[in-house]
Amino acid sequence: MAHSTFSQVAVAVPVGNDLSVKRSVFKTNSLRFHDKSWSPVSALNLNLRGTRARGWQTVCMSVPQTSAPKVSVAPLDLEDAKEPPLNIYKPKSPYTATIVSVERLVGPKAPGETCHIVIDHGGNVPYWEGQSYGVIPPGENPKKPGNPHNVRLYSIASTRYGDSFDGKTASLCVRRAVYYDPETGKEDPLKNGVCSNFLCDSKPGDKVQITGPSGKIMLLPEDDPNATHIMIATGTGVAPFRGYLRRMFMESVPTFKFGGLAWLFLGVANVDSLLYDDEFSKYLKDYPENFRYDRALSREQKNKSGGKMYVQDKIEEYSDEIFKLLDGGAHIYFCGLKGMMPGIQDTLKKVAEQRGEKWEEKLSQLKKNKQWHVEVY
């Protein structure tokens, strides 16, 4: 839902017979995403020096503007399928895709390294927002000599159109898995995550074996474009939500005009660990009525008890609103490390009891209504 604003623009108009405007320049500042531009509204800048002396008058008029023009996407026939694509490529016959780019997402003070990896699938492995790709790293499985490595699943962090908006790429958000010996405190490369290190070390042009897409539980329900979506992520679990939010707020999709509320809770260690923060902050500025964004920084913020601030503490802080939204049919999504769920479940149970409700019954109803979506790993 784009918001219209009205800007005052000065325009010179002729009073006598002089119908010439010496110079009129339209200036546009635009953000670029690959070869497509996401432009703010054009500003009219007329050079008016000396116009009055030539029988001109300057008048002001209100020009309606849209606050955030969206990016056009293609091919739009990706909207035609009634069912999501599933397992087009299987582990025994994966698709060979190509690495487009690998970009470090986090700052120097972040614990660990997280990368944004764009993969070119040539339009041959289509997917929907909320699905996952499997990746088979090169080399052989040490537990099964002569066989390839097992598939590792990664939530896709882009919309079906990809970061270049042409339906030919997919993006993954990958944290490099590094093992430190508890006795020496030193890194043991032999025990590092095989797939995450392969992906984070890859270079543009490298080949990567992918399978899928897979998964239905995290698909974005689009039957009601005015629905409320509450998204709770820890770390790289933000991946599917980046896809949702780009579809809602960045892309111009003729068949999906979002007018509801998207509310993102993101839990990370510190400011340097925030993922896609610039994108989310822009949506907050452009769509304040449709997007809310709450960060839980465990190493920099304290909860009300003086302990570390985790996403469940933010949920408790807004629990009245969240429960009311759920009662009104809101969808709630959880994505991240499976260790996030017990603390969140305990918080929701405590809040439910304070409201005189039985959490088990409420949870059962949410699942029955297909409002509850969980993908943890």
pLDDT for 350-369, tens place per residue?
999 999 999 999 999 999 99
Report the C-alpha gap between 152 and 131 in whole angstroms: 14
Contact 172, 119 (CB under 8 A): yes
Output the known binding site.
155, 175, 236, 298-299, 308, 336-337, 375
Name the phi and psi angles at 373, rounded to 5. Answer: -130, 120
| pLDDT value, residue 67 | 55
| pLDDT value, residue 294 | 97
pTM above 0.85, yes or no: no
User: If pLDDT is split at 50, 70 and 90, which confidence band does 68 have?
Assistant: confident
Give the residue numbers marked as catalytic: 154-155, 335, 375, 377
Looking at residue 272, the DSSP 8-state letter turns out to be: G
| 109 has pLDDT over 50 | yes
| 16 has pLDDT over 60 | no
pLDDT digits (tens, 9 = 90+) for 253-303: 999 999 999 999 999 999 999 999 999 999 999 999 999 999 999 999 999
| pLDDT value, residue 187 | 74
Which one is predicted more confidently, 63 or 219? 219
Q: How many CB atoms lie within 10 A of CB 331?
A: 21
| pLDDT value, residue 350 | 95
Which architecture, in CATH terms, is 228-376?
3-Layer(aba) Sandwich (3.40)
| 111 has pLDDT over 50 | yes
Burial of 31 per CB tally in 10 Å (0-12, 13-18, 19+): exposed
Contact 284, 295 (CB under 8 A): no
* Domain-wise residue ranges, the chain: 76-214, 228-376
Task: Indicate left, alpha or beta for 120 from its phi (over 0: left) and psi (-120 to 50: alpha).
Answer: beta
Output the known binding site for NADP(+).
155, 175, 236, 298-299, 308, 336-337, 375
Q: Which of 190-199, 202-211, 224-233, 295-304 has the lowest mean pLDDT?
A: 190-199
Percentage of the chain lying above the pLDDT 90 cut: 77
Query: What CATH number matches the domain at 76-214, 2.40.50.140, 2.40.30.10, 3.40.50.720, 3.40.190.10?
Result: 2.40.30.10
Interval 27-48 mean pLDDT = 40
| 215 has pLDDT over 70 | yes
pLDDT digits (tens, 9 = 90+) for 220-263: 999 999 999 999 999 999 999 999 999 999 999 999 999 999 99
Interval 58-68 mean pLDDT = 47
| pLDDT value, residue 184 | 76
Which one is predicted more confidently, 159 or 11? 159
